[in-house]
Amino acid sequence: MPGWLTNRMIYGLAFAVIAGLMGFAFYLQYVEGLEPCPLCMAQRIAFVTLGLVFLIAFLHGPEKVGTIIYTSLGGLVALAGLSLAIRQLWLQSLPEDQVPACGPGLEYMLEVFPMSEVITMMLKGTGECAEVQWTFLGVSIPGWTALAFVGFIAVLLFTFMRKQGNA
């Protein structure tokens, strides 16, 4: 491993990748016109939260205890995001007659329902979460999202397993 590739630099690079992923998500939404479903929004929240963990770790440059803390926090967020992506992939795999009914839009839910209900509805997903709007190499957005979360979990484990002198 090159000497310049410290955990701190890895955290900074991971943050930059998440910023790029969010930029691409906004491109798909605002340029290509793909409206994100509630599960997509929940996955975005997980990405932003994970990005903040990476940014803070980059700015902090932690040693052993800090690395354990950032790995734990980031790992929990990444696992939550991965589970949301897997749920959406499951919804997309259902036969058409088993797909849940489409729900109201997120803006409407935020205006009408209490936040606890909005969060519950977002995490369960609705019929529009089962719709495949875009693919690349035959893989849908939640498929790529799941791969990204697995990649970030691997990055966190890598930084955790390195000798702490490389912080």
DSSP result, 69-93: HHHHHHHHHHHHHHHHHHHHHHHHH
CB atoms within 10 A of CB 110: 11
pTM of the model: 0.79
- In tens, the pLDDT along 19-39 reads 999 999 999 889 988 888 888
111 against 66, higher pLDDT: 66
> Are 126 and 37 in contact, with CB atoms under 8 Å apart?
yes
Q: Delineate the domains of the chain, giving CATH numbers in brackets.
A: 7-166 (1.20.1550.10)
Q: Which residue has the higher pLDDT, 124 or 84?
A: 84
Q: Is 102 helix (H, G, I), strand (E, B) or coil?
A: coil
Pairing of strands 135-136, 139-140: antiparallel
pLDDT of residue 94: 74
- Residue 108, phi then psi, degrees to nearest 5: -65, -45
